[in-house]
Amino acid sequence: MAGTKIVATIGPSSFKTDVLEKMYRYGLSCIRINTAHIEAGYIAKVKETLESLNRKTGMHVGVMVDLKGPELRTGKFPDGHKIVKAGQKLNLTLNGSEGDITLSHPEIAKGLEPKETLLLSDGRVRMRVLSKNSSSIQLESLDDGDLRDRSRVNIPGKFLPLGTLTERDRQFLQEGISAGVEFFAQSFVQRKEDVMTLQKEVSERGGDQLIVSKIETKSGYVNIKEISRVSDFVMVARGDLGVELPLKEVAMAQKHIIEESHKHGVPAIVATQMLESMVKSSSPTRAEVSDVTNAILDNTDAVMLSEESAVGDYPDLAVRYLNEIAEFVESRNSNYAEPREFLGNHVAYSIARASKIVASEIEASAIVTFSKTGNTPKMISAVRPGVPIISAVPARGLANKLSLYSGVVPLLIESSSNDLSNFENIMSAVEKKTGLKKGERVVVTSGAPYFLFGGTNDVRVATIGKFMGRGYPSGKNFKGTVTWKLDGPGDIYVTENMKGARISDLAEFAGIIFLESIGHASEEELSETGIPFIHNTKLLKSLEDGTNVYVDGSTGVITS
């Protein structure tokens, strides 16, 4: 699967077990629930269904509850709509009385000033403030348009004191916490205080959910630095952001938001119209493929489907296309940039970078982390090591959360401890539950929980398989069955030393394991022949004839 993660919005098209199973198979990482279109009890049903599928498939797909948040809208019109013409003057009333236009929050209009612009009906109709008095504001329409009841109203760049949550949001917040969802997405985040308010609400209800801050207003975009600092994830919500910003700026805004969030080690999600044509089409347009490719090259951690998976005709295929695009792009561009100016915990960042450097130098197949909090895999994900990050964790909920981090493969283990006494057991679980093969090298991070940066104080190189011993290496890797006899059946000859052996006899083997030191002269002679070997070997367990082993030519580690 791709390192870039996939979020899909659930709806009538996808809330079916057979469809979800296909989406799982094609690379689904997280399900989003849009609370604008659900009733009480829906969150619990979705979570129950996904947990059943998680246990069945061994995957860890989390649930994100997207809270609608307070919105600024027009009131109702006498005929259900109002046709306006460019240049037409209209009155916006401030006291709730009848007028050409009313607002759901009339107090917001009192802060408007002449020359400011309102965007109505998803930006299709622009209106300029001409003048104001104590009871109304005179507007001039800049466009022809047809305004419907409760049309959305945007005031780009202006802070709107609408609050953080509606009562309906709070009901879904409690339902999500009770159901054990992993994420809450917060709409229309304008400043860091909005995020902190939601975090407090979650904490007071006993929740530990991660907060996804949706950047979809100009205020949120301007304040992205401070918002990133307090967020768990940041979402580039291009729909509303494309209303508040000129369309020509949206693509560059996407790059800026991702870059700023990554400075704090905060993952980013790119959303809205990724594969919108697939609501009706079984394949995306070339422009959509290019858009997804661009988001991945921008270094996004995840991409998100909305209508495509909620009400589209091909929700499973949409997931498959996202995964296929991501896999291809990543195969051609594995060297993703680290944060250019990291502003978070520099100790944790240094450990993460060390893991990445070691993995690159030894050509490791993966980085393995033991984590109780998720902080270590999160930070390693931020530096984009280019290999899978297998994160062994003790709790299912944490595994579900980590599924949304770029490159992270959660691994649920029974032991809750990450001390060294459990190292072999955990590595055995890594071998059994992943695609790693005996003899492959991995970088392992682990440590004690009393350290400031989440407990990670150890970076080491390990070899997949049962550890049998270690010697001083010379030459390349070698593997095969063991024999203690020069004329015995086997690929690897094990002996105390060079006594009684001729170089011509040893040349028949894939490699040699010497238990004693063989001296510089013998080392040089063997090296010149190209026969790989290890010497001065200490065996943890006896090597019986016929034992299948792998010897790492760089570390001298023997595994079976």
Q: DSSP letters of 273-322?
A: SSSGGGGT-SS--HHHHHHHHHHHHTT-SEEEESHHHHT-S-HHHHHHHH
Domain count, the chain: 4
Top pLDDT among 547 and 427 is at 547
Q: Can you give the pLDDT at residue 287? A: 98
- Percent of the chain clearing pLDDT 70 (strictly above): 95
Q: Give mean pLDDT, residues 378-401.
A: 94
Q: Which tens digit of pLDDT belongs to each residue from 275-313? A: 999 999 999 999 999 999 999 999 999 999 999 999 999
pLDDT at residue 429 greater than cutoff 90: no
**Mean of per-residue pLDDT scores for the chain:** 91
pLDDT at residue 184 greater than cutoff 70: yes
Give the chain's count of helices (H) and strands (E): 18, 27
Tell me the DSSP string of 506-520.
HTTSSEEEESS--HH
pLDDT at residue 489 greater than cutoff 70: yes
Q: Can you give the pLDDT at residue 420? A: 38
Rounded to an integer, what distance in angstroms lies between the CA atom of residue 506 and that of residue 486? 8
Q: Can you give the pLDDT at residue 338? A: 75
pLDDT at residue 418 greater than cutoff 50: no
Q: Can you give the pLDDT at residue 97? A: 64
Q: Residues 149, 172: one domain?
A: no
Place 499 in a pLDDT band, splitting at 50, 70 and 90: confident
Residue 113's CATH number: 2.40.33.10
Q: Give mean pLDDT, residues 97-117.
A: 86
Residue 36's CATH number: 3.20.20.60
Q: Give mean pLDDT, residues 362-389.
A: 91
Q: Residues 384, 426: one domain?
A: yes
Q: Which tens digit of pLDDT belongs to each residue from 125-154? A: 999 999 998 888 999 999 999 999 999 999
Rounded to an integer, what distance in angstroms lies between the CA atom of residue 59 and that of residue 377? 17
Q: Can you give the pLDDT at residue 453? A: 44
Q: Residues 217, 321: one domain?
A: yes
Top pLDDT among 146 and 417 is at 146
Q: Residues 285, 227: one domain?
A: yes
pLDDT at residue 421 greater than cutoff 50: no
Q: Can you give the pLDDT at residue 419? A: 45
Q: Can you give the pLDDT at residue 417? A: 47
pLDDT at residue 560 greater than cutoff 90: no
Q: Residues 196, 242: one domain?
A: yes
Q: Can you give the pLDDT at residue 342? A: 72
Q: Residues 458, 477: one domain?
A: no
pLDDT at residue 12 greater than cutoff 90: yes
Q: Residues 507, 363: one domain?
A: no
pLDDT at residue 180 greater than cutoff 70: yes
Tell me the DSSP string of 101-147.
B-BSSHHHHTT--TT-EEEETTTTEEEEEEEE-SSEEEEEE-S-EEE
The answer to whether position 76 is within a domain reads: no
pLDDT at residue 455 greater than cutoff 60: no
Q: Residues 131, 198: one domain?
A: no
Place 333 in a pLDDT band, splitting at 50, 70 and 90: confident
Place 398 in a pLDDT band, splitting at 50, 70 and 90: very high
